[in-house]
Each structure stands twice: as structure tokens, then as C-alpha cells.
């Protein structure tokens, strides 16, 4: 009996975080050690990372981020349960604590994730190959999971 073919997928996340990290990720992709990347659309090097992904035909997904940096959606323009007083996300533990306390407005989460998806499409001209979460923010306290639906 023939065995089913197994394909190992190795995804490098935080693509777009900074140029030096991006260079290392591309080097690993070209060497065959990485098979795909996950793009932070609010990273410091997002535009150049998107260009690298296009240039090297790297399968690219969205690295959904609710914990680090500044939002790309409506939250960036004012008061939001997703950000602190300085306009930055609350951080990994700050976000988890705010969710556990019931202080995060889930419609604002949806708005931000939709804005990140839209930004991804603008940068790469297509939908992501996959979606995963920066610092596991897609898995909320109490077993809740964020959903696009």
C-alpha cells in the first residue's frame, strides 16, 4: 500500500518587522529551509518585505497582529479598546488581560483584522495564502478563538 505524501510547511513569521530579519528569512527561503512567510502589515519594513515576497515568489500569509506596534485600522485614529494612551497596541499580556477582563470590544478587533487583510491585499495584490496570529493573539483566554466570520 502506498503511503500518503507528506509535505512539511515551515513558515517564518514576523516578515516585515525589520530589514535585517527579512533578509534572513529570504535567505532561509532561498535555501529551502522555509516554505512560506507571514507578513506583519504594521511592521517597520512592511513595504520592502512585500517587495521581497513578490520578487522571490514567496508564498505569503497574513500575520494578524493585535499586540505590538500601531494599528492600521480605525483604532489608529482615536480611542479604542485595542490601544493604550500612546496609540500602540496593549502588548501581548496587556491584550490578553484586557480580553479576560472583558475590556476589548470584539467589533473593534474585527475592524482591525479586516483593515490588516485589506492592507495585505493592497501590498501584495492578492489574498494571503494563510492567516496566523502574532504572539498567538488568535487564541484568547478561556479557549476563545478569533474568527473572520
Q: Integer distance in angstroms from the first to the last C-alpha of the chain? A: 40
Q: Tell me the C-alpha distance between 88 and 80, whole Å.
A: 10
Cell numbers that stand for 135 in this block: 504572539
Asked if residue 81 belongs to a domain, the reply is yes
Determine, yes or no, domain membership for 147. Answer: no
Q: What pLDDT sits at residue 18?
A: 97
| CATH number of the structural domain spanning residue 72 | 3.20.20.370
Q: Could you report the per-residue pLDDT of 87-146, keeping only the tens digit for each?
A: 999 999 999 899 888 899 989 999 999 999 999 999 999 999 999 999 877 666 555 555
pLDDT digits (tens, 9 = 90+) for 17-51: 999 999 999 999 999 999 999 999 999 999 999 99
pTM, two decimal places: 0.88
Compute the distance between CA of residue 98 and CA of residue 60 in angstroms, rounded to an integer: 30
Evaluate whether residue 52 is within a structural domain: yes
In degrees, rounded to 5, the angle at the alpha carbon of residue 98 between the alpha carbons of residues 95 and 104 is 95
Lookup: cell for 1:
500500500
Give the catalytic positions in this structure: 13
111, part of any domain: yes
Amino acid at each position: 500500500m502506498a503511503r500518503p505524501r507528506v509535505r512539511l510547511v515551515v513558515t517564518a513569521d514576523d516578515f516585515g518587522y525589520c530589514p535585517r530579519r527579512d533578509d534572513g528569512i529570504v535567505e532561509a527561503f532561498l535555501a529551502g529551509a522555509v516554505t512560506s512567510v507571514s507578513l506583519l502589515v504594521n511592521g517597520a519594513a512592511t513595504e520592502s518585505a512585500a517587495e521581497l515576497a513578490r520578487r522571490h515568489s514567496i508564498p505569503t500569509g497574513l500575520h494578524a497582529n493585535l499586540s505590538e506596534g500601531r494599528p492600521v485600522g480605525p483604532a489608529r485614529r482615536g480611542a479604542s479598546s485595542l490601544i493604550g494612551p500612546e496609540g500602540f497596541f496593549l502588548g501581548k499580556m496587556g491584550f490578553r488581560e484586557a480580553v479576560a477582563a472583558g475590556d476589548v470590544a470584539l467589533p473593534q478587533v474585527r475592524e482591525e483584522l479586516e483593515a490588516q487583510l485589506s492592507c495585505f491585499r493592497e501590498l501584495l495584490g492578492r489574498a494571503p495564502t494563510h492567516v496566523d496570529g502574532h504572539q498567538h493573539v488568535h487564541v484568547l483566554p478561556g479557549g476563545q478563538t478569533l474568527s473572520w466570520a
